[in-house]
Amino acid sequence: MIETEKDSLGESIYYEDARPIKCTVIEAEPEAMQRFRYETMNDDVLTVIASLDEMPLDNNDESLNSADLQRIEYKLNLTLELVSQLFAQQFSLPEPVDLRLNAERLAWKSEVLQPENALVSISLYLNDRYPKPIQLFGHTVTSTESEFQNHVILLPMKLAVQDKLDKFIFRQHRRFIAHRRRGI
């Protein structure tokens, strides 16, 4: 049993939200080829989410091309929104739960407690507009000083995937702070 002295997720840059999550206890870590496939899928998902989160630059370009590009981008975003709603209707996603994610740990609220020191596979849906999960693996741990019932220390990922996940967490954390400062 590993107990944390303090909720280590609360003292770093983290992403906190209510997101669909599915946690499954597994017997062994994925084999090398399976792990490679998961990491490739995670890389793809995080790349798409990053592109969806890109903020347009205000370049005050009043040219016809700029206006046309904005209309096309709006139409593509609308199409993506409709397709993601259809996808969500066709496939039942797990119910969103409150969670906190940083580079090393994931914690979430749930009535179902995961067994202590278990190896788990986690499907985490990070974006409503792109309802495809990233697949994380880790070991459950106990934390007595936390509002979250389930805690997982994540297994190391390929550096490129870890970097994209870190950037996602950082962007979301900065947005949260900016909204809080503006009183939104």
Whether 163 is in a domain gets the answer yes
pLDDT of the residue at 7: 47
Residue span of the structural domain in which 18 resides: 8-54+93-182
pLDDT of the residue at 58: 54
Query: Domain containing 32 — which CATH number?
Result: 2.40.10
Work out the pLDDT band at 29, boundaries 50, 70, 90.
Answer: very high
Q: Taking residues 66-73, what's their average pLDDT? A: 76
Question: What are the structure tokens assigned to 111, written together?
Answer: 């009535």
Whether 84 is in a domain gets the answer no
Domain total in the chain: 1
Q: b/e string for 90-107 if b means 16 or more Cβ within 10 A?
A: eeebeeebebbbbeebbb
pTM comes to: 0.80
Contact 18, 94 (CB under 8 A): no
Cα angle 158, 159, 164; round to 5: 100
Whether 66 is in a domain gets the answer no
Phi, psi dihedral angles at 145 (to 5 degrees): -110, 60
Whether 60 is in a domain gets the answer no
Q: List pLDDT tens digits, range 143-157.
A: 877 889 999 999 999
- Range of lowest pLDDT (37-46, 78-87, 98-107, 170-179): 78-87
Whether 3 has a pLDDT exceeding 70, the answer reads no
Phi, psi dihedral angles at 122 (to 5 degrees): -125, 125
Q: Taking residues 77-83, what's their average pLDDT? A: 76
Whether 164 is in a domain gets the answer yes
Q: Taking residues 9-14, what's their average pLDDT? A: 69
Could you count the other beta carbons within 10 Å of the beta carbon of residue 41? 15
Distances (CA, A) of 90 to 80, 81, 83: 15, 14, 11
Whether 165 has a pLDDT exceeding 70, the answer reads yes
Phi, psi dihedral angles at 82 (to 5 degrees): -65, -40
Whether 59 is in a domain gets the answer no
Whether 82 is in a domain gets the answer no
Whether 128 is in a domain gets the answer yes
Contact 39, 137 (CB under 8 A): no
Coil, helix or strand for 62? coil
